[in-house]
């Protein structure tokens, strides 16, 4: 089987939005044994889409198009489908009622142009869109399948999982000879090259599987891909690779797939029935923002203090004036007193703090740009650790917040804290 993705939209070509749909589709299709062989992005141009459809009909079994299904003049996908397949548009009354109900539920008069959302090619099938007004379109021709979906991710993703994948697995059942599995392990606190050294001979671990290192400012994602002759064989292979990797680098693995470190830390705090507070200087509220982005965080997060100035460090957190005068704001002593101060202020069980020089200005020979002290305090002990993250302000803030949460995770799980 050969599969092709077509993403339609000038906004993708000019960099106005990032094409996350292609990444999602590639992962989902691969997971059911239908890997993507070609991925193209085109603008809102009729001739270009016609050319891509011709290429698809000649060379690919499955083509999935995202975007261009809206009600405005620049949404070209449906008109081009009608032209290419020599079809005509008809009204689907069930879709029309659905569109009207969406506007009625918001107490908005439906613009007449939106009635066009219910127009679909006569020789096609509707893929239901529960989260929006644009239905998906399914066209079959000579065992080839063309699937058109809205470009809005929160509309498209459920349509893939609920309808498209089950259909493809059934329709091409005789062609799916191999069983695919993919799993992503999330690591932080260790660089790509160091991680590679810790793992050792990769081929002793993965066998005939694949392992990809995907570094970012937050850590390194390890993507495992395997194929098996049946479901059990594929599961056994991927579980074996995961087990061997955990033996080598288990302390650095904090989660899987799309998990965030703040979610993982929140789950630990909830299970241990502990509360958290945060004192931030150089991260400017980034840690608190990440924590409260998780639903239910009010159950364990007491609050935070963003003490950017020394005056607020003194008045709100109780950092001693003498500490600041002797050691400076960017120091182990200040980080510890910030953590202790916010823990006492909020009466939390544990707290973390950050103070540093995010840059690009403000550094010195003794305290260069990128130097960050991260403190932690609980009811028994307090400590701080120093890091040098570099000279990019945004990356420094991101890495500082990530490292602070990772220190907290390791502390809560009694994992040795070393980087």
Domain with residue 235: its CATH number is 3.30.70.2860
Q: What's residue 110's pLDDT?
A: 92
> Is 170 in the same domain as 275?
no
Give the range of the structural domain holding residue 372, as residue numbers without chain letter.
Answer: 263-412
CA 255, CA 270: separation in Å to the nearest integer? 16
> Is 333 in the same domain as 384?
yes
Determine the average pLDDT of the residues in 17-43: 92
Strand pairing report for 382-388 and 371-378: antiparallel
Nearest to 182 by CA among 229, 241, 248, 230: 241
Mean pLDDT of the chain: 95
Q: 356 falls in which pLDDT band (50, 70, 90)?
A: very high
CA 182, CA 106: separation in Å to the nearest integer? 40
Number of domains in the chain: 3
Q: What's residue 182's pLDDT?
A: 86
Nearest to 116 by CA among 131, 133, 103: 133
Q: Two tokens at 243?
A: 């087990």
Q: Which of 217, 238, 256 is the last residue of a domain?
A: 256
> Is 109 in the same domain as 224?
no
Lowest mean pLDDT among 175-184, 297-306, 368-377: 175-184
**Domain assignment present for 417:** no
Report the DSSP beta bridge partners of residue 415: none
> Is 53 in the same domain as 149?
yes
Helix axes 46-59, 77-84, angle to 10 degrees: 50
> Is 65 in the same domain as 139?
yes
Angle, alpha carbons 363-366-372 (nearest 5°): 65
Q: What are phi and psi of 39, to 5 degrees?
A: -135, 115
> Is 191 in the same domain as 167?
no
Q: What are the residues whose beta carbons fall under 8 Å from the beta carbon of 239, sequence distance 6 or more?
A: none
**Domain assignment present for 419:** no
For the stretch 349-377, what's the b/e string if a residue is b when 16 or more beta carbons lie within 10 angstroms of its beta carbon?
A: bbbbbbbbbbbeeebeeebebbbbbbbbb
Q: What's residue 1's pLDDT?
A: 82
**Domain assignment present for 418:** no
Residue 111 per-residue DSSP state? P
Determine the average pLDDT of the residues in 150-164: 94
Determine the average pLDDT of the residues in 217-245: 93
Q: 32 falls in which pLDDT band (50, 70, 90)?
A: confident
Percent residues over pLDDT 70 in the chain: 100
Instruction: Encode 230-269 in three state secondary structure.
Output: CHHHHHHHHHHHHHHHHHHHHHHEEEECCCCHHHHHHHHH
Angle, alpha carbons 409-390-400 (nearest 5°): 25
Q: What's residue 141's pLDDT?
A: 94
> Is 203 in the same domain as 287?
no
Cα–Cα separations (whole angstroms), residue 360 to 120, 396, 419: 54, 10, 24
Return the H-helix or E-strand segment holding 181.
Answer: strand 179-187
> Is 304 in the same domain as 234?
no
CA 401, CA 394: separation in Å to the nearest integer? 11
Q: Which of 256, 276, 292 is the last residue of a domain?
A: 256
Q: What's residue 381's pLDDT?
A: 96
pLDDT tens digits, one per residue of 273-302:
999 999 999 999 999 999 999 999 999 999
> Is 166 in the same domain as 189?
no
> Is the four-CA dihedral 256, 234, 160, 14 of positive or negative sign?
positive
CA 80, CA 94: separation in Å to the nearest integer? 23
CATH code of the domain containing 33: 3.40.980.10
Return the H-helix or E-strand segment holding 64.
Answer: strand 62-66
Tell me if 156 sits within 8 A of 66, measured CB to CB.
yes
CA 300, CA 275: separation in Å to the nearest integer? 4
Determine the average pLDDT of the residues in 190-195: 94
Q: Two tokens at 59?
A: 């060379």
pLDDT at 177 over 80: no
Q: Two tokens at 416?
A: 């040795």
Q: Which of 175, 203, 235 is the last residue of a domain?
A: 175
Which one has a higher pLDDT value, 386 or 231?
A: 386
CA 139, CA 174: separation in Å to the nearest integer? 20
Q: 71 falls in which pLDDT band (50, 70, 90)?
A: confident
**Domain assignment present for 319:** yes
Q: 220 falls in which pLDDT band (50, 70, 90)?
A: very high
Determine the average pLDDT of the residues in 139-164: 95
pLDDT at 33 over 90: no
> Is 81 in the same domain as 187?
no
CA 324, CA 66: separation in Å to the nearest integer? 56
CATH code of the domain containing 315: 3.90.950.20
Which one has a higher pLDDT value, 231 or 222?
A: 222
Decide: helix, strand or coil at residue 73: coil
> Is 408 in the same domain as 329?
yes
> Is 290 in the same domain as 213?
no
């Amino acid at each position: 089987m050969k599969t092709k993705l077509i993403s339609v939209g000038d906004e993708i070509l000019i960099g106005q939005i990032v094409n996350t749909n292609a990444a999602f589709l590639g992962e989902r299709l691969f997971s059911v044994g239908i890997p993507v062989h070609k991925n193209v992005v085109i603008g809102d141009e009729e001739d270009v889409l016609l050319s891509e459809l011709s290429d698809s009909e000649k060379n690919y079994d499955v083509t999935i198009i995202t975007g261009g299904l809206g009600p405005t003049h620049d949404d070209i996908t449906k008109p081009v489908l009608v032209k290419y397949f020599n079809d005509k548009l008809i009204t689907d009354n069930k879709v029309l009622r659905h569109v009207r109900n969406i506007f009625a539920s918001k107490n908005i008069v439906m613009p007449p142009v939106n009635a066009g959302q219910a127009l679909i090619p006569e020789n096609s099938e509707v893929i239901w869109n529960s989260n929006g007004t644009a239905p998906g379109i399914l066209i079959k021709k000579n065992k080839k399948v063309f699937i058109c979906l809205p470009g809005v991710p929160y509309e498209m993703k459920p349509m893939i999982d609920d309808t498209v994948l089950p259909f493809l697995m059934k329709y091409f059942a005789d062609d799916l000879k191999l069983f695919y599995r993919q799993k992503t392990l999330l690591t932080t606190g260790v660089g790509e090259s160091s991680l590679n050294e810790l793992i050792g001979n990769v081929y002793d671990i993965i066998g005939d599987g694949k392992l990809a290192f995907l570094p970012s400012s937050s850590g390194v994602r390890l993507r495992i891909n395997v194929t098996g002759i049946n479901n059990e064989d594929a599961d056994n292979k991927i579980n074996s690779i995961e087990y061997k990797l955990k033996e080598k680098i288990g302390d650095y693995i904090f989660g899987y797939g799309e998990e965030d470190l703040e979610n993982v830390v929140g789950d630990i705090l909830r299970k241990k029935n502990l509360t958290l507070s945060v004192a931030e200087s150089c991260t400017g509220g980034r840690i608190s923002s990440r924590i409260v982005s998780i639903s239910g965080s009010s159950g364990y997060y007491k609050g935070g203090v963003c003490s950017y100035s020394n005056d607020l460090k003194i008045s709100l957190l109780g950092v001693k004036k003498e500490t600041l005068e002797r050691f400076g704001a960017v120091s182990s002593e200040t980080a510890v007193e910030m953590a202790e101060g916010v823990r006492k202020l909020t009466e939390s069980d544990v707290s973390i703090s950050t103070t540093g020089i995010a840059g690009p200005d403000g550094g010195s020979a003794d305290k260069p740009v990128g130097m960050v002290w991260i403190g932690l305090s609980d009811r028994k002990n307090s400590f701080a650790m120093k890091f040098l993250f570099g000279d990019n302000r945004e990356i420094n803030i991101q890495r500082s917040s990530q490292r602070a949460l990772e220190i907290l995770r390791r502390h809560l799980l009694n994992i040795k804290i070393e980087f």
